[in-house]
Structure 1
Amino acid sequence: MHQKDLVTTLDWARQEGWNPGRDDARLFLSADPEGFLIADHEGAPAASISLVGVGPGHAFLGLFICRADLRGRGLAGPLWDAAMAQAQGRSVGLDGVVAQQGRYAAQGFRATHRTLRFAGIAPARSGGDEGRSEAIVAADLPAIRALDRQATGFDRPGFLSVWMQPRDGHVVHLIRDGTEAAAVGVLRACDVGWKIGPLLARSAEAARAVLHDLVALAQGDRIMIDVPDDQPDAAALARSLGLAPVFETARMWNGPPPPRGTGMEYGVATLELG
């Protein structure tokens, strides 16, 4: 899939209310340039799916969407089959909306936990919240990769090298602990407001500090964060900011899931790529 086709796919997602990030086409392709598939109908893009490698034994499936006016014509099934064949024996994960979880279960996927999207208006920083996090530098990437691998079980250096690169509309904050990353979080501009993710931390205190610093930058705008429900402190942090759950997905795997560090993932990078 070329970037222009991925832009088209994200336009479909936008129409469905997925609220993609403004730079997601470029960021997504960086994760796995060969991992995005598209089906044509009469010479025009009609349906898409992605299967992005997240380690030698695991891949993540997403962006499974068909153009609204072409649904029900049998375009999605062959595309699904092509993506699953591309897995080549790897375990495949996805974040499935409630309405589709039964279909995924029939394909051999099993839920490991739920992911809850919290959303609301970013509050002003309270007087006692002092900024502890800092913008990252290139030398921080190995420590961030190590934290990401421990928190998610994924090994995705190509994705992180771009996703963790600060620029206009894409803020990355970090708390260092010697040579380790104690916490890291990303705030990225979307069609509507901002999304926070990932938010990874070795403690709830560090997660809170990074989260509050990022939220302060979006003060008065709508913010969203996708929270794994097997990290109870994450939901509590979101609620402490006045955010409320607006929908949920299930993290599902066909095959053994990767080993995740207990309680270190406070916010998912993106539901499309894991």
Structure 2
Amino acid sequence: MEKSGYQIRVMSKEDLSLAVEWAAEEGWNPGLHDAASFFAADPNGFLMGYLNGEPISSISVVKYSNGFGFLGFYIVKPEYRGKGYGLAIWQAGLEYLAGCNIGLDGVVDQQANYRRSGFSLAYGNIRFEGLGGGVAPEQADIIPIDEAHFNEVLCYDSAFFPASRDVFLRHWLNQRESVALAIRRGGKLAGYGVIRPCREGYKIGPLFADDVALAEDLFLALRAKASAYDPVYLDVPESNHAGVALAGKYEMEPVFTTARMYTGEFPDISVERTFGVTTFELG
């Protein structure tokens, strides 16, 4: 797309690293090694806008299938806001996902704008901040996730996401400096979670489990991977009251909220077993 020196192009990996920097400047606290996982999900699903060669805007529109995509990284450099550049890249992103049910986790004060583009509110998410450390439970059924467990984890993940995300998940579970753990009950996978380093502290996400007791065991095991001085963040759907209570039990404080919205019907996913969202950027 080209208009008055403004061009919108598919990002390179280097461009995506710049968009991650912009996200950090916005206070979104991205993971240190997120970019590779994001790019693997859909290399064509990241757009950047250039004004006379200068990168000034970004959006991610990852197409997980022909029927579902997720929008994120919608950023315009502050000095270029209000001039139509954001709208242009937004429209280009929606065009790429034409025909898909599109999800996003947007800042709450932008809900009205998203509604005008056909998005409807499904539920809110709350980012909680606490501290790492503590002692992992003596739970023999908590195991590190390795390649031998991947297909089982992928199958379990299908209850929490409306499309297969095998390529993304394989990268996410193997991020540098991250820890991925699964929990079993009765010989079957009953939950899994990941903790990864971010610009500030660590984020736990996803945190999926069949009930709150299993989620708590996983949470404690993951939290123990960070030091007692490190901030730890957990993004919980506010409609998962057990998850919100779990965060409160460990003295985590709400610091940020988002609105999960979709252009189509709310997907049949297990929000009540989602104790931690994978990532606001890609769902």
Whether TM-score is above 0.5 comes out as yes
Which residue matches 1:37? 47
- Structure 2 residues without counterparts, runs of 5 or longer: 1-10
In structure 2, which of residues 179, 191, 198 is the aligned counterpart of residue 190 of structure 1?
A: 198
CA shift at 1:55, angstroms? 3.6
179-188 vs 21-30, which moves further: 179-188
Identity %: 38
Normalization by structure 2: what TM-score? Answer: 0.91
The 1-side partners of 2:115 and 2:152 are apart by 36
Which amino acid is 2:211 matched to?
S
Distance 1:77 1:261 in 2: 33
1:119 has 2:109 as partner: no
Matching of residue 231 in structure 1 with residue 237 in structure 2: no
Aligned residue-pair number:
271
Instruction: Give the counterpart letter for 2:154 in structure 1.
Output: R
Out of 12, 15, 19, which is 2:25 matched to? 15
Is 1:215 aligned with 2:223?
yes
The CA deviation string for residues 162-212 of structure 1, in whole angstroms up to 9 with x for no partner, is: 101254x21101113466421110000001100010011112121111110
Distance 1:154 1:229, change over 3 A: farther
Contact 1:119–1:245 (Cα < 8 Å) also in 2: yes
Is residue 2:44 matched to residue 1:25? no
TM-score by length of 1: 0.94
Equivalent in 9, 12, 27 of residue 2 of structure 1? 12
CA distance in 2, matches of 1:208, 1:156: 25
Does structure 2 retain, via aligned residues, the 8 Å contact 1:116–1:245?
Answer: yes
- What value does the CA root-mean-square deviation take over the aligned residues? 1.6
Residue 219 of structure 1 deviates from its aligned partner by 2.8
Shift of 1:31: 1.2
Greater displacement, 256-265 / 107-116: 256-265
CA apart distance, 1:152: 2.8
Q: Which moved more, 1:195-204 or 1:68-77?
A: 68-77
**Cα gap change, 1:51/1:166 in structure 2, threshold over 3 Å: closer, same or farther?**
closer
Q: Whole-Å Cα distance in 2 between the matches of residues 110 and 235 of structure 1?
A: 23
Q: Is the 8 A contact 1:147 1:200 kept in 2?
A: no
Q: Find 2:267's aligned residue among 248, 258, 264.
A: 258
8 Å CA contact 2:68–2:162 kept in 1: the answer is no
